[in-house]
Amino acid sequence: MRTTIDLPDELMHEVKAVAARRGSSLKTVIRAAVEEEVRRAERKTGRRVKFPLLSSREPGSLNLTNAEIEDLSA
């Protein structure tokens, strides 16, 4: 899909310089930057943890040693 974006002149010059240093096209550099930003956003929102991690019939009464916790995660 084609799209048009407006970038400040200084940023555009920097992007062109990056592309030149890499021997890549402007399109390749911009696409890689957008893909990285999307991956970064997915990592931030995609890993929610719900508590409790270990459920218990009697919350607050679970006493485990470090060795027992390691055994549970194996």
Q: Domain limits of the chain?
A: 9-37
* 2-60 pLDDT tens trace: 899 999 999 999 999 999 999 999 999 999 999 999 988 877 766 677 777 777 778 77
Tally helices (H) and strands (E) across the chain. 3, 0
pLDDT at 73 (0 to 100): 76
Q: What is the pTM of this model?
A: 0.56
Note whether 54 and 62 are within 8 A (CB).
yes
Q: What does the DSSP 8-state code read for residue 59?
A: T
pLDDT at 45 (0 to 100): 67
Element (H, E) at 40: helix 26-45
